[in-house]
Structure 1
């Protein structure tokens, strides 16, 4: 299956607030990873770039954009100005930013109800690093991901971002390090960084526990 076209005109959506926070594929989303004046908005993850000046920021931004161009990133993809552990996110005004630090862009809104705790979400995603390199894709794996919400099985930023999506919706998430996966020798990531995910929510299923004799499981449909 080919990845969908994420170049469509963006739309915005809101769902009623709900409680709660929000190997290769498992590590990425499962817990076990010159600015055009008036068009782009710089959002800092951890303050000013240490020891930077306009020339250095411009140079770092241009370097990042060149790497992203070489990786054929989709339209309206965010850029990153990184100097050591200091990072600025440069994204268009189409993106929304939450108090948690999560940023998102609704590409398609979808229809129906947003998922709730205990329900199973079925979704496709493509994951990118700061240079725009594709690091994971359920499309390439040939099957969507399935996970129940509310049991802390998802990376916090990913779960927060998918909670107020509607079936059929497509959204780009910019997940800051503090809402990302753990890092270390046992994970895909060796250092804290931003991750970008293009998410397509396919469907939401109700789940219930089934007990047969001494056997118990949860079924979703």
Structure 2
């Protein structure tokens, strides 16, 4: 509150006040002003008493101001914990489902509730989760033996990301993939998922990031992303090494 220059005493004693701002404008009696004293003998004691009173008021108001300021800066720190919204998971799940529908995902496709680096995989009871973190669904059981290290597997696959968008497909390429087992040619999660399949079998494999490949510009895997593969195992072939002169290769049949 801005005070005007007015005499505080009668005409026999003169105090002229310089205008200042009050700390608490709601209490005018506590407003502090800075005054210059003209020393008149008849009013000296009274002037000193007034100055002493104003000095005490200034000190008291300064103390109140400091205490109040300290409390006001400490209060916000008590509310740093973020409140969890109970509807966040439901909202994120519906958002993932909507995006997947737009991408025309196949039936019983898993849903991914992602919030930051935390991902919750939501599946039907048809899926089985292994201790390694791999999630499987056997769509169709095959017949015969499972592939062994050194044997060649021939298979078709379709790869999806968490939103259900296709990232790769041997069906679109027009020819199946052929890989020898046990040669580190496949990413760990894919090889684990196909190792106990039988020819003619179809399986959906949900691969967590820790079982995927290292993230590099040449890979379509992204950091902290799950990948989904629909795999159809066509056949298993035995392989043997063939050497002709200085030339050596592996033949599978």
What TM-score, normalized by structure 2, do the two folds share? 0.66
Q: How far apart are residue 52 of structure 1 and its match? A: 4.8
SS of structure 2 residue aligned to 1:200: strand
Unmatched 5+ stretches in structure 1: 1-49
What's the Cα RMSD here? 1.3
1:151 to 180, 183, 196: 183
Aligned residues: 172
Q: How far apart are residue 109 of structure 1 and its match? A: 0.5
SS of structure 1 residue aligned to 2:189: helix
The question of 1:95 aligning with 2:127 is answered yes
Q: In structure 2, do the counterparts of structure 1 residues 155 and 51 end up closer, same or farther at CA, with 3 Å as the change threshold?
A: farther
SS of structure 2 residue aligned to 1:92: coil
What residue is the counterpart of 1:212 in the other structure? 244
Q: In structure 2, do the counterparts of structure 1 residues 52 and 69 end up closer, same or farther at CA, with 3 Å as the change threshold?
A: farther
| Alpha-carbon distance between aligned partners in 1 of 2:136 and 2:130, rounded to the nearest angstrom | 9
What residue is the counterpart of 1:130 in the other structure? 162
Runs of 4+ in 1 over 6 A off after TM superposition: none
| Alpha-carbon distance between aligned partners in 2 of 1:54 and 1:69, rounded to the nearest angstrom | 25
Which deviations, in whole Å up to 9, do the C-alpha atoms of 1:164-184 show, x marking residues without a partner?
000000000000000012113
What residue is the counterpart of 2:106 in the other structure? 74
Unmatched 5+ stretches in structure 2: 1-81
| Alpha-carbon distance between aligned partners in 1 of 2:100 and 2:192, rounded to the nearest angstrom | 26
Asked which structure has the greater RCO (Cα within 8 Å, sep 6+), the reply is: 1
